[in-house]
Amino acid sequence: MNETWKITVAAPRPIIQSALLAHEEALEWDFDIVLSGSEITEDHPEDWHLEAWLPRKPSRADKKAIAALFGNHDPDLVVEKLPDQDWVTLSQQGVEPIRAGRFHVRTPNFPPLDEPGVVDFLIPASQAFGTGQHETTAGCLAMLDGMKREGVVVRNLADIGTGTGLLAFAGMTLWPHALATASDIDAVCADVVADNAAMNRVALGAGPNALTMAIADGMDDPLLQARAPYDLLIANILAGPLVELAADFAKAVIPGGSILLAGLLAAQELQVRRAYSRAGMRLAARMTNGDWSILWLRKRAMAKPRATRAHKLPVWARQW
């Protein structure tokens, strides 16, 4: 197993969030360096830390790149070599189950939730993002549940940046006759999704109520293009790629179709919404979960719409 190193910086929440935003704008970032930011303890929500994981001992250039994210602040970088183990899997072990809408997501450490109407997903700790515990994934589950209750009809869906496959599984549960496609840029996700599909009795294949998996960067893939246009496109990734892919995502959705976006901080929401408005999308609903925004957008119809009263967000979608 390759060695893993971690660099940690502790600072107040606004400073860490500013560093994460700077990372989004870093055009020449080394993507071997994986970043995350979060509160250190629940009882001190303003005390955050930034953690950077590297598959090698950090070089002087690595440390300089991370320090540069903090601008005029002089961060104290704590460098440590981690034990030879899968730190992503380890970090997810023993996490509490979450409930989002009708969905209950758990690891094998916990039993299913025995309640009527609850959809239980078993998602073990893995090398892929998207176990449901992160605010963005949980928010997407809640938003999908709300979209179903609003009467959204989906015959063809795509989950871009699927990670564990969880959001694709949820969409297939809500719309069981839909074609379903999942993709991720990380090749490790193909096996992760296949394993999770087997554990959750999700069929793999090309027909209705079966999931087709692709390894792809954005929408630049023959399978994704051939299966378009979609009624629903889900993308829980990062704000930067969401902005860059706005035109491609909008093009891949039918008029009146939906795009569900997550992975963006509330501070990044306006930038993302502007990009999708320019691409012909309008806001249907939004949620906030912690510091994160979850957006439901709908593609404007081809015909010129009649004058109507201002669009009002559903009550359930204003805050989660």
CATH of the domain at 214: 3.40.50.150
Tell whether the model's pLDDT for residue 283 goes beyond 90.
yes
For residue 248, what is the DSSP state?
Answer: H
Residues 154, 258 within the same domain: yes
CA 126/CA 188 separation, integer angstroms: 10
**Does 282 reside within a domain?**
yes
Residues 282, 155 within the same domain: yes
> Does pTM surpass 0.75?
no
Tell whether the model's pLDDT for residue 312 goes beyond 80.
no
* Domain with 293 in it: 127-317
**Does 227 reside within a domain?**
yes
For residue 315, what is the DSSP state?
Answer: G
Task: Please identify which residue in the block is written with the tokens 């979850």.
Answer: 294
Residues 54, 164 within the same domain: no
CA 45/CA 57 separation, integer angstroms: 31
**Does 208 reside within a domain?**
yes
Residues 11, 81 within the same domain: yes
Residues 188, 60 within the same domain: no
| Adjacent-strand bridge partners of 35 | 52
Give the H or E element holding residue 293. strand 292-299
**Does 276 reside within a domain?**
yes
Tell whether the model's pLDDT for residue 155 goes beyond 50.
yes
Do the bridges between strand 292-299 and strand 78-81 make them parallel or antiparallel, or are there none, so unpaired?
A: unpaired
Q: How many domains does the chain have?
A: 2
C-alpha distances in angstroms, 150 versus 282, 284, 319?
Answer: 16, 11, 16
pLDDT confidence of residue 86:
53
Last residue of a domain, one of 60, 85, 110: 85
pLDDT confidence of residue 2:
58
Residues 74, 179 within the same domain: no
3-state secondary structure of 81: strand
Average pLDDT, the chain: 86
Residues 52, 168 within the same domain: no
- Among residues 288, 305, 287, 309, the alpha carbon closest in space to that of 296 is found at 287
Helices (H), 166-288: 166-174, 188-199, 222-227, 239-244, 246-251, 269-278
Tell whether the model's pLDDT for residue 305 goes beyond 50.
no
In this structure, of 68-72, 90-94, 139-143, the range with the lowest mean pLDDT score is 90-94
CA 316/CA 143 separation, integer angstroms: 9
Task: Show the CA angle centred on residue 50, arms to residues 45 and 55, nearest 5°.
Answer: 145
**Does 94 reside within a domain?**
no
Give the CATH number for residue 72: 3.30.70.120
Residues 179, 307 within the same domain: yes
Residues 75, 192 within the same domain: no
Average pLDDT over residues 90-97: 59
**Does 104 reside within a domain?**
no
CA 289/CA 297 separation, integer angstroms: 17
Residues 60, 140 within the same domain: no
**Does 244 reside within a domain?**
yes
Do the bridges between strand 5-12 and strand 47-54 make them parallel or antiparallel, or are there none, so unpaired?
A: antiparallel
pLDDT confidence of residue 307:
40
CA 44/CA 47 separation, integer angstroms: 6
Tell whether the model's pLDDT for residue 162 goes beyond 90.
yes
Tell whether the model's pLDDT for residue 309 goes beyond 50.
no
Sheet holding 230-236, edge to edge: 211-215, 179-184, 156-160, 230-236, 253-265, 292-299, 281-289
Residues 139, 267 within the same domain: yes
Residues 166, 268 within the same domain: yes
Identity of residue 18: S
Residue predicted with more confidence, 252 or 317: 252
Last residue of a domain, one of 31, 55, 85: 85
**Does 112 reside within a domain?**
no
pLDDT confidence of residue 186:
85
Sheet holding 34-39, edge to edge: 34-39, 47-54, 5-12, 78-81
CA pseudo-torsion sign 114, 111, 172, 209: negative
